A and B are shown apart, each in its own frame.
Chain A
Amino acid sequence: MLKADVVRAWITDFLASLLHVDPADIKGDSRFNNIGLDSVDAVVMAGAMEEHFNTEIDATLFLRNSTVDELLADLQANGIIG
């Protein structure tokens, strides 16, 4: 099972790189649509995360959450992170 803080750090770096924003601007409760993330990006993030962590993640999980905190909680609820 993946570690929550490792996944959080990866998501933050990934979003900062993808969206050309400062990682410090991506907080746990930042709303994805306010930092410029759309549904296509969310699915892209799912694919990258699968590859990076060598795991399987349902793409809809990335669409139904609107902040990093919510996404992490959902990943936890689905047994992907510990």
Chain B
Amino acid sequence: MSDKTPELSLIVISYEMARELPRTLYSLSPQYQQGIAATDYEVIVIDNGSRHPPKAEDFADLGLNLQIHSFPDPAPSPVRAINHGLSLAAAPLVGVNIDGARMASPGLLDACRRAARTDPAAVVTTLSFQIGPGPQWITMQQGYDAAWEDRLLAGIDWQNNGYRLFDISPFAENVVRGWFGPLSESNLLFLPRGLWQDLGGYDPAFESPGGGAANADLLWRALERPGTRQVTVLGEGVFHQIHGGTHTNAGSDSLEVNKRAAKEYYRLRGRIRVVDAERSYFGPVSRAASETYHRQLAAGHAAAREDATVVRMGPDATGRYLDLLKAVLLNETGLETEVALDSLRGAKEVPPAFWTETLYDVPGKLALALDEKRRIRARGIDTLTANAGPPLGYTMIGRQRLEHLQWCVTTALAEGVAGDVMECGVWRGGASLFMKAVLDLSGDRERTVWLADSFAGLPPPSYPEDQGMDLSREHFPSLAVSQQRVERAFADFGLLDARVRFLPGFFADTLADCEVGQLAVLRLDGDLYSSTMQALEALYDRVSPGGFIVIDDYGGLGQCAQAVDRFRSARGITPPITMIDWTGAYWRKS
């Protein structure tokens, strides 16, 4: 392609990744990567024993300086294949992407290159995320699969804005000790060629399938070498696609797989100690990255996307009211109490110090947990998080979906889309309360807010698609909120009037013949296939042209997405579905 020696070489390991590798290579190609020229880098794919290895000619249109090699002596551990790749690398700065299912964000390569220039012995590390509603080893046990992931990726137009990968990947994988803690490993990292040689590459003693802890070992050995310095790239990341990976996608075997990896590491190294030396963090974060990335890092307080919000937080009273309302509905102002209470979860008794110290965080030990809670709340991922339950606020949809809902309602008002607004599945009413506030502020005196809910929890599963999804009151009492409590919430916020109407009962009994006329915004949050399908069948035709259909669980619950996809296909609905965040999605009726 060019006689010029590249500045960067990146080794990518593939194994049975016919679905994932094309996306990964696209995400590394010059048409996607920003700030770096095609001749500046080479990508070397080492296939580690696939039955049908990838061929370079299949990727010729990417304009990538690409080599694909089949490793002649494949083994369950990729370590020798990586070292083979390292021997082929031509550039002075060499990176390894140990898992070819990991896509890159658009500024990753240039950021790594610039990060490496900050120190002659830089160990450039990157942040890892997993696509989908949570850690894939857990979500795959709940039905998360390639088709589900394909749906999420189709909803973000990642080829044109790869930073939206952050939006559908709320689970950060290698920051288990907090955003500024030591990384547990770096799934894509760059080192100067000489440092690779000094380290002898990856240690072939790691023979576990997938390499076990070889990647963590490599990072720790590099960081313990005198004179090296870790430089973690912010604002970029790598995103793991589900593919049956040994560690990431072990499902219910995950505990055993990770235990065996730790065992192998302990056998080889005699101790386990995460290296926590002083680090540098490399910025600046590109403008495009900052919008989505800050939602992850700064708990949603960064500026929202232009197309997703009309009213911005500003000095005006309206903006401040709505912002404060969002904070209260999400209980962002009460997170300290939630974090203190979380520390009790699973405890067999309440220690006396809880009342005198923990509840007020006198020892000052809850700051990290509080930061994490802020991030979780902004993304609306409380229900995905171990050791926590639903938020103590009025909604669990997170700040990003609330902002988007505001945009839907204000856009419908601004464009004169006719009709009321409606939510099916309201829990404690937060999203409906918020729509009512936006309507009231606009001076509207015509539109009604409709709340359809059993007000007694979800129905037990009755459709085959919902088998195993028993979210009924018996199992999830916290999801059952009475109409009286929701009404009281509207009254507490000064938002209860005759234009707030309730449709109590299961959707199957209430929606088909309900009084609801035209709708400008229809928000569905019924979790189940049955609830979603019943609501769409009863209400879709009432949505005005230009109206918004918002599906809260499209990314988070497979059976809900199935109902939406089947309904759209049966009705020939063509406007594309766009993901709002990791789970919320919407389209506008044409």
Residues of A within 8 A of B (CB): 14, 17-18, 20, 29, 31, 33-34, 36, 38-41, 43-48, 50-52, 59-60, 63, 66
Chain B 364-383 interface mask (CB, 8 Å, partner A; 1/0) = 01000000000000000000
Q: A36-B177, A51-B267, A59-B256 are in contact. Are A43 and B272 (CB under 8 A)?
A: no
Q: Which residue of B lies closest to A39 (CB)?
A: B386
Asked if residues B272 and A14 are in contact (CB atoms below 8 Å), the reply is: yes
A45 to B274, CA, bound (A): 13
Task: Tell yes or no: B276 within 8 A of A by CB.
Answer: yes
Asked if residues B266 and A47 are in contact (CB atoms below 8 Å), the reply is: yes
Q: Could you list some 25 contacts between A and B, CB below 8 A?
A: A18-B274, A20-B274, A20-B276, A29-B351, A34-B343, A36-B177, A38-B176, A40-B176, A43-B255, A43-B258, A43-B262, A44-B259, A44-B262, A46-B259, A47-B258, A47-B265, A47-B266, A48-B263, A48-B265, A48-B266, A48-B272, A50-B263, A59-B255, A59-B258, A60-B255
A59 to B274, CA, bound (A): 20
Q: A31-B347, A51-B267 are in contact. Are A44 and B276 (CB under 8 A)?
A: no
B258, B264, B272, B365: the one contacting A17 at CB < 8 Å is: B272
A39 to B262, CA, bound (A): 13
Q: Which residues of chain B have C-beta atoms less than 8 A from A50's C-beta?
A: 259, 263
Asked if residues A17 and B259 are in contact (CB atoms below 8 Å), the reply is: no
A31, A33, A48: the one contacting B262 at CB < 8 Å is: A48
Q: A46-B259, A50-B259, A59-B259 are in contact. Are A40 and B184 (CB under 8 A)?
A: yes
Residues of B within 8 A of A (CB): 176-177, 184, 255-256, 258-267, 271-274, 276, 343, 346-347, 351, 365, 386-387
Asked if residues B386 and A17 are in contact (CB atoms below 8 Å), the reply is: no
Q: Which residues of chain B have C-beta atoms less than 8 A from A59's C-beta?
A: 255-256, 258-259
A34 to B347, CA, bound (A): 12
Asked if residues B259 and A33 are in contact (CB atoms below 8 Å), the reply is: no
Known: A48-B272, A50-B259, A50-B263. 19 other contacts (CB 8 A): A17-B271, A17-B272, A18-B273, A20-B276, A29-B351, A31-B343, A36-B177, A40-B258, A44-B259, A44-B262, A44-B272, A47-B261, A47-B262, A47-B263, A47-B264, A47-B266, A51-B267, A59-B255, A59-B258
